[in-house]
Amino acid sequence: MEPLEAFIAAASGARSVRIDRYERLRGGAVQENFALDVCIDGRDEALVLRKDAPSRVAVSRSRAEEFALLRAAYAAGVIVPEPLWASDDRTIAGAPFFIMRRVAGTAIGRRIVRDQTLGGDRSTLARRLAEQLVRIHEIRPPRAELAFLGEPRTVHDFIVAAYAFLDATGRVEPALELGLRWLDVNAPVPEETVLLHHDFRTGNYMLDADGITAILDWEFAGWGDPHEDIGWFLARSWRFGKNDREAGGVGSRNAFYAAYERASGRRVDDNRVRYWETFAHARWAIIARQQADRHYSGAERSLELLLIGTLEPEVDDMLLRSIA
């Protein structure tokens, strides 16, 4: 722990740093998260170190980029853990990493949709989630500190990358390829461009008894159509069985739309949202396959990654139903 203690001391300007706990946290299928209990100049601090996993999903951003996104969100008033320090020096923690404050709560999706002691009243929770999404979407280009995001990724870009992945792995996927064709033919004309979280869903926010304590996992963020984030949040995959509550398993579609519109002053186009829901099913189908391949390749043996791969038929079914 000495290299990490020295890093925290230098980054914080502290005279003394002692790490009393360094423990892997559950969850985090793409990156690794560790709880740190640290004594800094006699003060006890609860922190989280987030670092690269042994293997990665191709579109995942670097930890330095995710740290910059977290800082932008924090400055915009989004409920996120306070970002503290980052480093690309692999000798410190074995991989590039950043450190943020630890917050209380749970992000387990299946528990959130069933346990109404988490987050309080469901309609209030759905409204607050819509308001948080609006705060994210208020971040717009150009932003010098987010220059690494480049140009918005188009549907065509996604389709090309999806076929390249399927070709590279030798897969023949009729259902997925039919969905990709539908997305290509029906792609909406781009309109406004905002910062997208790109993984805003139940399972990526934390709740305690009072409400939202953090919006997590910014590694896929980029510029794009705000309806894409809404469609991802409403996708069936993130309802965890509560399909009567289309908004993330916690609220109704119409109430979520209304809350987003009140907070943003912009109308939600239901047709665009439903297109992006279909896109979400195709994107999740590709990610599920990529996650499983991380296990099968031997790069990162993981039961969690293997189980994600078993979702492929279910996600394909959602995709086909959405274009029927």
Task: Please identify, among 101, 121, 153, the residue that sits at the C-terminal boundary of a domain.
Answer: 101
**166 and 273 fall within a common domain:** yes
Question: According to the model, what pLDDT value does residue 58 have?
Answer: 60
**12 and 30 fall within a common domain:** yes
How far apart CA 272 and CA 288 sit, in angstroms, is 24
**120 and 71 fall within a common domain:** no
Q: Identify the CATH number of the domain in which residue 20 sits.
A: 3.30.200.20
Computed over every residue of the chain, the mean pLDDT equals 92
**207 and 313 fall within a common domain:** yes
Beta bridge partners of 214: 206
Q: Which helix (H) or strand (E) holds 51?
A: strand 43-52
Please state the pTM of the whole predicted model: 0.93
Task: Please identify, among 51, 72, 101, the residue that sits at the C-terminal boundary of a domain.
Answer: 101
**21 and 134 fall within a common domain:** no
The torsion angles phi and psi of 49, rounded to 5 degrees, stand at -105, 125
Task: Please identify, among 50, 78, 101, the residue that sits at the C-terminal boundary of a domain.
Answer: 101
For residues 256-281, one letter each, b for 16 or more C-beta atoms within 10 angstroms of the residue's C-beta and e for the rest, the string is bbebbeebbeeebbeebbebbbbbbb
Grade residue 120 by pLDDT with cuts at 50, 70 and 90: confident
Q: Under the phi-then-psi rule, with left for phi > 0, alpha for psi from -120 to 50, and beta for the rest, what region is 211? A: left
Q: Which residues constitute the domain of residue 78? A: 2-101
Asked if residue 43 has pLDDT above 90, the reply is yes
Grade residue 53 by pLDDT with cuts at 50, 70 and 90: confident
The torsion angles phi and psi of 146, rounded to 5 degrees, stand at -115, 25
**21 and 152 fall within a common domain:** no
Question: According to the model, what pLDDT value does residue 60 have?
Answer: 83
Question: According to the model, what pLDDT value does residue 292 have?
Answer: 66
Tens-place pLDDT, residues 194-249? 999 999 999 999 999 999 999 999 999 999 999 999 999 999 999 999 999 999 99
**118 and 93 fall within a common domain:** no
Question: According to the model, what pLDDT value does residue 309 have?
Answer: 63
How far apart CA 14 and CA 163 sit, in angstroms, is 51
Q: What percent of the chain has pLDDT over 90?
A: 80
Give the pLDDT mean for 181-196. 96
Q: How many domains does the chain have?
A: 2
Question: According to the model, what pLDDT value does residue 171 have?
Answer: 78
**177 and 291 fall within a common domain:** yes
**79 and 138 fall within a common domain:** no
Give the pLDDT mean for 13-24. 97
Question: According to the model, what pLDDT value does residue 172 have?
Answer: 80
Grade residue 298 by pLDDT with cuts at 50, 70 and 90: low
**Which of the pair, 58 or 76, is modelled with greater confidence?**
76
Grade residue 297 by pLDDT with cuts at 50, 70 and 90: low
Give the pLDDT mean for 261-266. 97
Strands 17-24, 97-101: parallel, antiparallel or unpaired by DSSP? unpaired
Question: According to the model, what pLDDT value does residue 30 have?
Answer: 64
Q: Identify the CATH number of the domain in which residue 124 sits.
A: 3.90.1200.10
**50 and 181 fall within a common domain:** no
**201 and 66 fall within a common domain:** no
**72 and 145 fall within a common domain:** no
- In sequence order, what are the residues at sequence separation of 6 or more whose Cβ sits closer than 8 angstroms to the Cβ of residue 132? 78, 79, 205, 212, 215
